[in-house]
C-alpha cells in the first residue's frame, strides 16, 4: 500500500515502473487482468519505448466514465478507483460483496493484512 491518497492507474503504472527500474529491468512485456489491465494499458501508453507487448484480459479499458455511473451512484461513490482499490477492511468487504454471493464473514485484521501484504513488496522497492 501507499500513504499517497492517489489511486489512479497512472499512479499505479508509475509505481510498477519504479520497481522495474530499481530491479534494473528496462524492457518488458506487461500483462494485466481486471484493474491491472488499466495499469498495463497506461504503462504502454506512457512508456512505449519500454513496453514490448501488452496482454489485457477481463478488463474494461475501453469503457467510458458514464459506463460506471449507475454503479457509482448505487455505491454512493464518486470515482471508480475508490471502489476498486480498497485501502481498509470495510472497503474491501464492500467490493467483495459486489462479486461474491453469500460472502463469508472475514475479520477486519484478515482483510487489512490482505491489503497490506498484497503491496508490501512494492513498498520495499519504492523506499
Confirm if 35 and 16 have CB atoms less than 8 A apart.
Answer: no
- From its phi and psi, is residue 91 left (phi > 0), alpha (psi between -120 and 50) or beta? alpha
- pLDDT exceeds cutoff 80 at 106: yes
pLDDT band of residue 37 (cuts 50, 70, 90) is very high
pLDDT band of residue 1 (cuts 50, 70, 90) is low
Compute how many other C-beta atoms are within 10 angstroms of the C-beta atom of residue 32. Answer: 25
pLDDT band of residue 50 (cuts 50, 70, 90) is very high
pTM of the prediction? 0.56
Higher pLDDT, 84 or 12: 12
Counting Cα atoms < 13 Å in the Cβ hemisphere of 109 gives: 0
- pLDDT exceeds cutoff 60 at 23: yes
- pLDDT exceeds cutoff 60 at 41: yes
- pLDDT exceeds cutoff 90 at 84: no
Query: Most confidently modeled of 40-44, 57-61, 99-103?
Result: 40-44
Round to whole Å and give the CA distance between 24 and 29.
15
Amino acid at each position: 500500500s501507499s500513504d499517497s491518497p492517489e489511486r489512479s492507474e497512472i499512479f499505479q503504472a508509475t509505481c510498477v515502473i519504479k520497481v522495474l527500474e530499481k530491479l534494473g529491468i528496462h524492457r518488458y512485456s506487461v500483462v494485466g487482468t481486471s484493474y491491472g489491465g488499466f495499469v498495463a494499458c497506461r504503462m504502454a501508453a506512457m512508456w512505449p519505448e519500454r513496453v514490448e507487448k501488452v496482454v489485457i484480459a477481463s478488463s474494461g479499458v475501453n469503457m467510458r466514465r458514464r459506463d460506471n455511473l449507475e454503479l457509482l451512484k448505487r455505491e454512493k461513490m464518486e470515482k471508480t478507483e475508490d471502489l476498486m482499490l480498497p485501502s481498509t477492511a470495510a472497503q474491501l468487504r464492500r467490493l467483495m460483496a459486489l462479486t461474491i454471493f453469500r460472502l463469508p464473514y472475514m475479520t477486519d485484521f484478515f482483510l487489512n493484512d490482505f491489503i497490506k501484504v498484497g503491496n508490501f513488496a512494492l513498498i520495499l522497492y519504492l523506499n
